[in-house]
């Protein structure tokens, strides 16, 4: 892993700068980044309250920010509901008949929902939730494929004031159960199947296994896509369509305190179990609203396509909430980028006249491998703004993305995290870009690169990426674990430590180098070494395991594990495959290691902690750094 303590020197090679055409800058909501940034820094409360005033509140705030280190509250005393701003605010205007959602399924099916229709469906499902006894503060798990009902479920839960927790449908039953148990969820919403590369994934079966013996779960609501429909059993299961049909289309949004929880999203940290990062209605709404608007220069005439999955934070902030808060037309697609062929996304862009396209470096690299002919055979002239997220983008992939889309569109390389809720270091459409750099902080965000004692690093020297002041959409806590929340602000006192290593160049541009902790980024998906290891040691043959991330030209990082077997077991390819299958079952396909090496010892500190840093350095043929604490 990259260690900020080692003060890595970074060569500041001459970087190529690409300045977007002048008309891009002039057309953008923000055409003068510098002055907007300076104004926001000079008076952050005035800046954020000005933005909040663009939205509808049931009752205004009496105070913008209360900062009692390390705890923040925003828009104190205000009442609101994020779904009111996503739906009701638009249906009161001409946008009532504007397309909200253009959905395409992998099997070729499609659906178009206007704001009016989406509003009605959300109200119906929200009424249905009430009949199932769901009320303010209850937790609802959503384990669904990328279908319109996933939008509806999230919004309906938030509308009644309950807390949603979306679990990516690539996670296993055991991973889902762990999250259900932590959340003490009363309800699980799912679907019979999801489609991925022509195969149907049996989601309901996963839920059946996950809720078995989970006493908190009172109901399971199932969207049935297949015909003939799968059977629904038992008193606690409900059919989505039937529930909607029998429920009222009138359901006012619950009036929430701006600090009331909106959702928890489980994400991997350095140690142990995944943590439930908690976001609230008010501040999260303000942060996602303005970043979507400014970063993507979102306008009413745009068709916005983000390829993420709502199982991850990008889907929450930049498929569902941010775009809906702006009244956008959202293209939402199920399936993989290369199925049935690698032209899928380019074709969707052409077919629907997509103007804003937001995806991941891994996806770009995989499409790049298939060659230029796929993008070249589609008319991509509707595109005007591009984005990437989730992991550093290598300049080669950046330049390819830029070239095949016509060399007109600025690329918004957005750095942020589940915890930050919104994009934090990101270009705005008019600013000069350097391929591979996330450029500079969003207005209102104060970022820096520090050493471990909190001293600023000089330009071109790597250190810890930190945020120095609170922002509205920051996580408010880790669900049921306030100590873990406090660690973010205490590992370097007074600042939020992101867990990333970065440096700033002479122009103040940020370059993100990767994680400094034991978090892996595999295809942009976030996983903890601890989770992978605990899945592996739960196999009967395994005594100990250590997981590291290795640079991978496609996935960014690939998982390699070192395994010590219990006595009586012999290493072999059969056992290797069996352990991999076990990880698939315990955590899910995304966590399966690409390499598994049997070993007889692992480098450890005197206190018994595995030194993954040493393993990684050896694996990559690098210096092992300080090994004075190494025991074995
Ligand atoms: C990484 C995803 C470089 C980073 C929104 C961060 C990035 C982690 C970028 C959060 C980027 C995200 N450039 N690295 N543009 N965006 N990351 O919580 O390591 O799934 O800490 O949120 O992704 O991952 P998470």
Contacts of 44 (CB under 8 A, 6+ apart): 65, 444, 469
Residues 497 and 596 in one domain: no
Comparing 2-6, 28-32, 221-225, 511-515, which segment has the lowest mean pLDDT? 2-6
Residues 75 and 111 in one domain: no
Neighbours of 23 (CB within 10 A): 10
Q: Give the pLDDT of residue 11.
A: 38
Render the burial of 577-589: b for 16+ CB within 10 Å, e for the rest. Answer: eebbebbebbbbe
**Res. 623 pLDDT band, cuts 50 70 90:** confident
- 572-591 residue pLDDT tens: 999 999 999 999 999 999 89
Backbone φ and ψ of 72, nearest 5°: -120, 145
Q: 461 - beta bridge partners?
A: 9
What is d(CA 104, CA 115) in angstroms, rounded to the nearest whole number?
17
122 pLDDT higher than 80: yes
How remote is the CA of residue 268 from the centroid of ligand 1, in Å? Answer: 12
Percent of the chain scoring above 90 in pLDDT:
87
Residues 70 and 92 in one domain: no
Q: Which atom of ligand 1 is nearest to the CA of 419?
A: 18
| Cβ(145)–Cβ(178) below 8 Å | no
How remote is the CA of residue 452 from the centroid of ligand 1, in Å? Answer: 21
Give the end of a domain, one of 470, 491, 514.
514
Instruction: Give domain status of residue 503, yes or no.
Output: yes
What is d(CA 177, CA 415) in angstroms, rounded to the nearest whole number?
30
- 386-403 residue pLDDT tens: 999 999 999 999 999 999
282 pLDDT higher than 90: yes
Give the end of a domain, one of 254, 273, 289.
254
Closest C-alpha to ligand 1, atom 20: 526
Closest C-alpha to ligand 1, atom 3: 392
Q: Give the pLDDT of residue 632.
A: 52
Q: Give the pLDDT of residue 608.
A: 81
- 450-499 residue pLDDT tens: 999 999 999 999 999 999 999 999 999 999 999 999 999 999 999 999 99
Neighbours of 389 (CB within 10 A): 26
548 pLDDT higher than 80: yes
How remote is the CA of residue 323 from the centroid of ligand 1, in Å? Answer: 20
**Res. 606 pLDDT band, cuts 50 70 90:** confident
| Cβ(165)–Cβ(263) below 8 Å | yes
How remote is the CA of residue 390 from the centroid of ligand 1, in Å? Answer: 4
Residues 224 and 234 in one domain: yes
Pocket test for ligand 1, best of 295, 358, 391 (most atoms within 8 A of CB): 391
Mean pLDDT of 138-163: 98
Q: Both ends of the chain: CA-CA distance in Å?
A: 19
User: The CATH number of the domain where 310 resides is what?
Assistant: 3.40.50.12780
pTM (predicted TM-score): 0.94
Give the end of a domain, one of 254, 287, 311.
254
For the chain, the average pLDDT equals 94
Q: Give the pLDDT of residue 431.
A: 96
Residue entry with tokens 């997981």: 547
Q: Give the pLDDT of residue 626.
A: 61
627 pLDDT higher than 80: no
Instruction: Give domain status of residue 630, yes or no.
Output: no
Backbone φ and ψ of 306, nearest 5°: -115, 130
Q: Give the pLDDT of residue 83.
A: 98
Pocket test for ligand 1, best of 2, 309, 415 (most atoms within 8 A of CB): 415
Closest C-alpha to ligand 1, atom 25: 417
Q: Give the pLDDT of residue 474.
A: 98
Q: Give the pLDDT of residue 108.
A: 87
Mean pLDDT of 597-608: 90
Q: Give the pLDDT of residue 14.
A: 40
Q: Give the pLDDT of residue 447.
A: 98
Alpha helix ranges (H) inside 377-497: 395-404, 482-490
331 pLDDT higher than 60: yes
**Res. 9 pLDDT band, cuts 50 70 90:** very low
Q: Give the pLDDT of residue 272.
A: 67
Q: Give the pLDDT of residue 231.
A: 87
Closest C-alpha to ligand 1, atom 7: 391
CA neighbours within 13 Å on the CB side: how many for 17? Answer: 11
Q: What is the dihedral of CA 546, 551, 552, 558, to 10 degrees?
A: 20
Residues 328 and 402 in one domain: yes
Q: Give the pLDDT of residue 7.
A: 38
Residues 330 and 476 in one domain: yes
Closest C-alpha to ligand 1, atom 12: 390
| Cβ(502)–Cβ(460) below 8 Å | no
Residues 101 and 228 in one domain: yes
Instruction: Give domain status of residue 627, yes or no.
Output: no
Closest C-alpha to ligand 1, atom 8: 417
How remote is the CA of residue 417 from the centroid of ligand 1, in Å? Answer: 5
Residues 72 and 100 in one domain: no
Q: Which atom of ligand 1 is nearest to the CA of 414?
A: 15
Instruction: Give domain status of residue 632, yes or no.
Output: no
Mean pLDDT of 377-386: 98
What is d(CA 205, CA 298) in angstroms, rounded to the nearest whole number?
39
How remote is the CA of residue 518 from the centroid of ligand 1, in Å? Answer: 14
Residues 223 and 297 in one domain: no
Instruction: Give domain status of residue 628, yes or no.
Output: no
- 183-208 residue pLDDT tens: 999 999 999 999 989 999 999 999 99
What is d(CA 286, CA 248) in angstroms, rounded to the nearest whole number?
30
Structural domain span for residue 188: 82-254
**Res. 235 pLDDT band, cuts 50 70 90:** confident
Q: 223 - beta bridge partners?
A: 191
Structural domain tally of the chain?
A: 3
Q: Give the pLDDT of residue 6.
A: 41
Residues 301 and 435 in one domain: yes
- 308-328 residue pLDDT tens: 999 999 999 999 999 999 999
- 136-148 residue pLDDT tens: 999 999 999 999 9
- 46-55 residue pLDDT tens: 999 999 999 9
CA distances from 547 to 348, 390, 540, 561, 614 (A): 38, 20, 18, 4, 12
How remote is the CA of residue 514 from the centroid of ligand 1, in Å? Answer: 8
Residues 533 and 577 in one domain: yes
Closest CA to 218 of 139, 298, 159: 139
Q: Give the pLDDT of residue 477.
A: 98
Q: Which atom of ligand 1 is nearest to the CA of 526?
A: 20
Pocket test for ligand 1, best of 171, 433, 474, 521 (most atoms within 8 A of CB): 521
- 405-461 residue pLDDT tens: 999 999 999 999 999 999 999 999 999 999 999 999 999 999 999 999 999 999 999
Peptide linkage before 340 cis (omega within 30 of 0): yes
391: left (phi over 0), alpha (psi -120 to 50) or beta: beta
**What DSSP string describes 260-308?**
SEEEEEEE--SSSS-EEEEEEHHHHHHHHHHHHHHHTT--TT-EEEE--
Instruction: Give domain status of residue 540, yes or no.
Output: yes
How remote is the CA of residue 419 from the centroid of ligand 1, in Å? Answer: 10
Closest C-alpha to ligand 1, atom 22: 417
Residues 270 and 349 in one domain: yes
Pocket of ligand 1 (CB under 6 A): 267, 312-314, 389-392, 413-418, 438, 498-500, 512, 515, 521, 526
**Res. 630 pLDDT band, cuts 50 70 90:** low
Residues in the chain: 632
What is d(CA 378, CA 399) in angstroms, rounded to the nearest whole number?
19
Q: Which atom of ligand 1 is nearest to the CA of 388?
A: 15
Instruction: Give domain status of residue 625, yes or no.
Output: no
Q: 466 - beta bridge partners?
A: 448, 497
CA distances from 411 to 174, 316, 350, 360, 422 (A): 38, 21, 19, 12, 17
Mean pLDDT of 515-531: 90
What is d(CA 182, CA 272) in angstroms, rounded to the nearest whole number?
13
Instruction: Give domain status of residue 407, yes or no.
Output: yes
Closest C-alpha to ligand 1, atom 4: 391
What is d(CA 94, CA 101) in angstroms, rounded to the nearest whole number?
16
Pocket test for ligand 1, best of 267, 311, 397, 416 (most atoms within 8 A of CB): 416
């Amino acid at each position: 892993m990259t260690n900020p303590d080692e003060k890595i020197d970074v060569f500041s090679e001459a970087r190529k700068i690409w300045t977007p055409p002048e008309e891009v800058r002039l057309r953008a909501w923000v055409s003068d980044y510098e002055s907007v940034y300076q104004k926001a820094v000079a008076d952050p409360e005035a800046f954020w309250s000005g933005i909040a005033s663009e939205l509808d509140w049931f009752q205004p705030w009496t105070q913008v920010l209360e900062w009692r280190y390390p705890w923040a509250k925003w828009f104190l005393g205000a009442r609101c509901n994020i779904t009111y701003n996503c739906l009701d605010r638009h249906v009161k205007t001409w946008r009532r008949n504007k397309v909200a959602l253009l959905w395409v399924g992998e099997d070729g099916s499609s659906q178009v929902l206007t704001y009016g229709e989406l509003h009605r469906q959300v109200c119906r499902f929200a009424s249905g939730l009430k009949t199932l006894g769901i009320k303010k503060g209850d937790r609802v798990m959503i384990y669904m494929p990328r279908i319109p009902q996933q939008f509806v479920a999230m919004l309906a839960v938030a509308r009644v004031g309950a807390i949603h927790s979306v679990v990516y449908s690539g996670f296993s039953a055991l991973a889902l159960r762990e999250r259900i148990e932590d959340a003490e969820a009363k309800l699980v919403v799912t679907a019979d199947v999801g489609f991925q590369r022509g195969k149907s994934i049996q989601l309901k079966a996963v839920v059946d296994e996950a809720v078995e013996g989970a006493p908190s779960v009172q109901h399971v609501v199932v969207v049935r896509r297949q015909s003939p429909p799968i059977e629904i059993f038992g008193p606690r299961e409900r059919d989505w369509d039937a529930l909607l049909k029998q429920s009222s289309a009138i359901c006012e949004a619950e009036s929430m305190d701006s600090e009331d929880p909106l959702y928890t999203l489980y994400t991997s940290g350095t140690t142990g179990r995944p943590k439930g990062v908690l976001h609230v209605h008010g501040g999260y709404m303000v942060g996602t609203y303005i970043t979507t608007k400014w970063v993507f220069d979102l306008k009413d005439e745009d068709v916005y396509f983000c390829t993420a999955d709502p199982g991850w934070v990008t889907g929450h902030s930049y498929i569902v909430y941010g775009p809906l808060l702006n009244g956008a037309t959202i293209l939402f697609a199920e399936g993989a980028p290369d199925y049935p062929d690698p032209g899928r996304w380019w074709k969707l862009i052409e077919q629907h006249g997509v103007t804003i396209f937001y995806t991941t470096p891994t996806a770009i690299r995989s499409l790049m491998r298939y060659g230029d002919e796929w993008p070249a055979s589609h008319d991509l002239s509707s595109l005007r703004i591009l984005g990437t997220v989730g992991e550093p983008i290598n300049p080669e992939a950046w330049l390819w993305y830029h070239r095949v889309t016509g060399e007109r569109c600025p690329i918004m390389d957005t750095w942020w995290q589940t915890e930050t809720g919104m994009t934090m270091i990101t270009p705005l459409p008019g600013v000069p870009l350097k391929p591979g750099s996330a450029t500079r902080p969003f207005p209102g965000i104060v970022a820096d690169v520090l050493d471990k004692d909190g001293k600023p690093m000089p330009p071109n020297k790597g250190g810890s990426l930190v945020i120095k002041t609170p922002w509205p959409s920051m996580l408010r806590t880790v669900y049921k674990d306030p100590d873990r929340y406090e660690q973010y602000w205490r590992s370097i006192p007074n600042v939020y430590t992101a867990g990333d290593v970065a440096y700033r160049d002479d122009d103040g541009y940020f370059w993100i180098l990767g994680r400094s902790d034991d978090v892996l980024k595999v295809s942009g998906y976030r996983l903890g070494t601890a989770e992978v290891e605990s899945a592996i040691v739960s196999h009967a043959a395994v005594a100990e395991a250590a997981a590291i991330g290795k640079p991978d030209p496609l996935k960014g990082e690939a998982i390699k594990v070192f395994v010590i077997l219990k006595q009586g077991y012999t290493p072999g390819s059969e056992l290797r495959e069996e352990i991999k299958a076990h990880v698939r079952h315990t955590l899910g396909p995304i966590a399966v290691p690409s390499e598994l090496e049997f070993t007889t010892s692992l480098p450890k500190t005197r206190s018994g902690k595995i030194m993954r840093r040493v393993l990684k350095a050896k694996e990559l043929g690098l210096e092992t750094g300080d090994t004075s604490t190494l025991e074995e």
